[in-house]
Amino acid sequence: MQRQFAQMVGINRTYLIDVEHGRRNIAFDNMMKIAGGFDMTLSELVYDIEYQDISK
């Protein structure tokens, strides 16, 4: 599933894994690709992340 998502959004799978594990910082353009892959705007994606962190 992760491989298909990485291919769909045009991001190297290894890079995506490294970002998920905090080993690499993500570039803005790649954040836009990921948001698009989830059919979201970047602001929607970031809002959801911030909201989840606050609710913990």
- Mind listing the domains of the chain with CATH numbers? 2-54 (1.10.260.40)
pLDDT in tens, 2-46: 899 999 999 999 999 999 899 999 999 999 999 999 999 999 888
Using alpha carbons only, give the angle 4, 21, 54 rounded to the nearest 5 degrees.
Answer: 105
**The pLDDT value given to residue 47:** 83
State the pLDDT confidence band at 51, using cuts at 50, 70 and 90: low
Inter-axis angle of helices 42-54 and 28-37, nearest 10:
90
